[in-house]
Amino acid sequence: MSVDKLILSVPTSSRACCSVPPALDGSTGSNRAIGARAQIAADNDLDAIRAWLSRFIGTKTTFDNYRKEAERLLLWAVVVLGKPLSSLTHEDCLRYQQFLADPQPAAAWVAGGGRRHPRGDARWRPFYGRCAPPVDARPPSF
């Protein structure tokens, strides 16, 4: 699967919108809580991301930045590893951290010209320009 095959769109509300193949939607992710142990009412990874993002609705900049980072992580998990977000391991998170330092192949992950393009534009990519080093060298916790 390639980055452009995973359809992402700008949310029209406070919900992050994506289309993820059913086999990779996380509904059966290896880290998903089962039955009464569930802490949130999320049936899949997108619902879990939406629940997490709902905490930041009141702060547009934070919401937008966290949504962007969650989408990037989700894309990477599905496209590069071929696994749901809810099945990521500690080692996967370390690999993602390395990927952030230099997203490759750049043609698939980084927009040309170092600028953003609208989601519907064929030039849209999850990254634009160089990635800033993480503040505390850890991927965001969900």
Q: Is residue 74 classed exposed, middle or buried when 0-12, 13-18 and 19+ CB atoms within 10 A define those classes?
A: buried
How far is residue 108's CA from residue 57's CA, in Å, rounded to a whole number? 30
In a domain, 139, yes or no: no
What is the residue-level pLDDT of the chain in tens, covering all 142 positions? 444 444 343 333 333 445 788 778 877 777 777 666 777 788 899 988 998 999 999 999 999 999 999 999 999 999 999 999 999 999 999 999 999 999 999 999 999 887 888 878 888 899 987 666 555 555 555 5
Say if residues 76 and 88 touch (Cβ distance below 8 Å).
no
Q: Is the C-alpha dihedral spanning 109, 25, 91, 50 positive or negative?
A: positive
Whether this prediction's pTM lies above 0.95 is answered by no
Number of domains in the chain: 1
Q: Which domain holds residue 39?
A: 3-128
> Which pLDDT tens digit goes with each residue over 69-97?
999 999 999 999 999 999 999 999 999 99
- The C-alpha torsion from 85 through 86 and 92 to 95, rounded to 10°, is 30
In a domain, 133, yes or no: no
In a domain, 8, yes or no: yes
Q: Which residues of 85-95 are buried (b: 16+ CB within 10 A; e: fewer)?
A: bbbbeeebeee
Backbone phi, psi, residue 28, to 5°: -125, 30
In a domain, 33, yes or no: yes
Cα Rg of the chain (Å, integer): 15
Say if residues 16 and 65 touch (Cβ distance below 8 Å).
no
Mention every residue, 6+ apart, whose C-beta is less than 8 A from residue 41.
47, 51
Q: Is residue 18 classed exposed, middle or buried when 0-12, 13-18 and 19+ CB atoms within 10 A define those classes?
A: buried
